[in-house]
Amino acid sequence: MARVNWQFLRHQGPTDVITFDYRQSADGVSSPASGALCGEAFVCVAEAVRQAREFQTNWPSEVVRYAVHALLHLSGYDDLVAAKRRVMKREENRLMRELALVFDFNQLETRKSKS
């Protein structure tokens, strides 16, 4: 993840999620002609484990949060400016609450195979 972060964003070290919106034009403006999402996201499980400890949650829910975050980016949300970051974070939290009503994030963790 650190290599991808440096290669594409020129940011040092690993990060939790990096999203590439393939609908963006050369000037960085997203052009959702069909409304369909088109992109790619890189999620770092090691960062999910680290941040889960920091935020007292579990790593599977952090991975889901990163996927939601990436989908929001692909839907046009931006987090580079503080005001937009707050809007995006509110939507991310809202979607996480909705997903938690349907999915038990703890059940997403891989079960250890019996020896």
Number of domains in the chain: 1
Residue 112 in any domain: the answer is no
Q: Please, is 56 exposed, middle or buried when counting C-beta atoms within 10 Å of its C-beta (0-12, 13-18, 19+)?
A: exposed
Cβ–Cβ under 8 Å, residues 31 and 24: yes
Q: In this predicted structure, what is the pLDDT of residue 113?
A: 40
What's the chain's Rg over C-alpha atoms?
16
Q: In this predicted structure, what is the pLDDT of residue 45?
A: 95
Tell me the per-residue pLDDT of 26-65, one tens digit each, with 9 for 90 and over: 565 555 555 788 999 999 999 999 999 999 999 999 999 9
Q: Which domain holds residue 16?
A: 2-30+37-107
CATH number at residue 41: 3.40.390.30
Residue 115 in any domain: the answer is no
